[in-house]
Structure 1
């Protein structure tokens, strides 16, 4: 909720449990779920690596790429606007945009045809990844 209204705070107290030393500790349910989900993806990746076809036809290819570029445009523009306003939410948007830029570079390179690979690599190395680093710097900066 802090992205929309940073002044709103919830009054719920974190769930706590008594640890082995008798000290109350916060129960990291979400952390446990996220860690478990990440670990569960490893065997799933093995299944995918063994079962997915090397090539496939995609019916909404242009929609997927235009949608990703629209997200990048919104993220980059929004980050710039929030930075200009010295809004602390700029770091959150910059972090999301950095992740999208890295993902865009990855998919551009890995889905490029042999003739388009040099262009995809050039764009990844000269534009997408440097912009991702710039967004990462913004994301880590204290506002």
Structure 2
């Protein structure tokens, strides 16, 4: 069945999920899934006091030695995510949903860091314009693709 067209492979995978759990849409993972959910929720909650510590102890300014590498790496990930989302969407490939979701998150993160790191500088206006006019609308578009392709 590995040589079958992707749409037939997807149908077979869906049938396997249905038989493993007895109902469609279930992962059939048994007790592991609730434990993972508890761990993830706990980790998220543990970050709340850590954020308070960071808010009190982080310096207001910092010099970063690899600043350009960080931003170029983020832009490379965005380029790959946007191009990948577009190509998979054009093909009607079901793998578009996770790629689009990850790209939406990266775009929102990029907008956040562009705006917050430009505060009080001459580039703040451009950062706000790019966030409102490009990054956030693209993030919403990718989130819609991800939501519609997983339903």
TM-score by length of 2: 0.78
- Following superposition, the deviation at residue 102 of structure 1 comes to 0.2
- Following superposition, the deviation at residue 15 of structure 1 comes to 3.5
Picking from 71, 76, 91, the partner of 1:85 is 91
- Higher share of residues assigned helix: 2
Task: Give the number of equivalent residue pairs.
Answer: 130
Could you tell me which runs of 5 or more consecutive residues in structure 1 were left unpaired when the two chains were aligned. Answer: 17-25
- Following superposition, the deviation at residue 97 of structure 1 comes to 0.1
User: Match of 1:120?
Assistant: 127
Q: 1:85 to 1:107 in 2, by over 3 A?
A: same
Structure 1 stretch displaced more, 111-120 or 59-68? 111-120
Picking from 124, 132, 141, the partner of 1:134 is 141
User: Match of 1:51?
Assistant: 57
TM-score by length of 1: 0.83
User: Match of 1:21?
Assistant: none
Could you tell me which runs of 5 or more consecutive residues in structure 2 were left unpaired when the two chains were aligned. Answer: 1-8, 21-26
User: Match of 1:14?
Assistant: 29
Cα deviation digits, residues 19-60 of structure 1 (max 9, x gap): xxxxxxx76010000000000000000000000000000000
Structure 1 stretch displaced more, 110-119 or 50-59? 110-119
